[in-house]
Amino acid sequence: MDAGTEANPVLELSLRHAREHRDDMALWLALQVLMTDDMALADDALQDRLLLLQDRLEDKIRAWHGLPDRNTGVLTGNQPSRLSNNSLGQF
């Protein structure tokens, strides 16, 4: 960074979270890619399950950072020690 350049605090926070949750970001991206696949788009049940898994992943990340539930705005207080595929439940 140049001496005269100021850091963007939101970008810095986003990058820090990306580093902390690298595996989860890769899973999120994989879900996004699958949801744009022509064969996956033709399968309504698969699309529903992919969306459900992505919603669960978002819920886990929100809980990890102490953010309110995206639907109710209520803090869950359920902060997992680390996100894993097992913590996402069966989809």
pLDDT in tens, 32-91: 899 889 988 899 999 999 999 999 988 888 888 788 888 777 776 554 444 444 455 544
* CA-closest candidate to residue 61, choices 78, 39, 37, 47: 78
Asked if 91 and 59 touch (Cβ cutoff 8 Å), the reply is no
- Domains of the chain: which residue ranges? 9-64
Instruction: Indicate the pTM of the whole model.
Output: 0.61
pLDDT in tens, 44-57: 999 999 999 999 98
Residue 45: C-alpha distances to residues 39, 41, 81 (Å): 12, 9, 31
Q: Quote the CA–CA distance of 19 and 82 in Å, as a whole number.
A: 13
